[in-house]
Amino acid sequence: MKIASFSAVAAVLLISGCASVEMSPKADSDKAKEFNPPNQGTAGVYIYRDSFIGKALKKDIWIDKKCVGESAPDVFFYTEVEGGKFHKVDTESEFSPNTLELMFEAGKNYFIRQFIKIGVIVGGAGLEQVTEEQGKKDVVKLEMAKPGKCSASPQ
């Protein structure tokens, strides 16, 4: 009975409530939403979270083991990485980070959606690359979080 009660409470917390993180200035967020080409030799990377599930959770995101930031509902991050090479994008999850390894071509913008999935005890997170069209459509509705603060280090 205790396990069932605990599971019910955990499920409610995952769906309700709302985590928050420190936000970037609105001017920076608006500039990122112009979707300009990245600086020469780099690729632009938008990582965002727009899922309804897990509003009470924050999840760290890293690129090549460097902290991008701690996500919360309805936020995005923008960063640039060296173009013409593979990069590992990680997000913390229930038991270990989930990784997406992608080739980032210089001069292009890429969009990665972080999503929350219900786990045994707490919510896990995953990453998926989305099309530029879908990514732009999603990101314009969000605000940019302040980068560089993670609660843990990547595994």
Q: What is the pLDDT along the chain (155 residues), one digit of tens a residue?
A: 444 433 443 444 444 445 678 999 999 999 999 999 999 999 999 999 998 788 888 899 999 999 999 999 999 999 999 999 999 999 987 766 689 999 999 999 999 999 987 766 666 889 999 999 999 999 999 999 999 888 876 65
Count of H-run helices and E-run strands, the chain? 3, 9
Do the Cβ atoms of 105 and 83 come closer than 8 Å?
Answer: yes
CB atoms within 10 A of CB 2: 6
Q: What is the pTM of this model?
A: 0.84
- Tell me what pLDDT residue 139 has: 98
- The string over 106-121, giving b where at least 16 C-beta atoms fall within 10 Å of a residue's C-beta and e elsewhere, is beebbbbbbbbeeeee
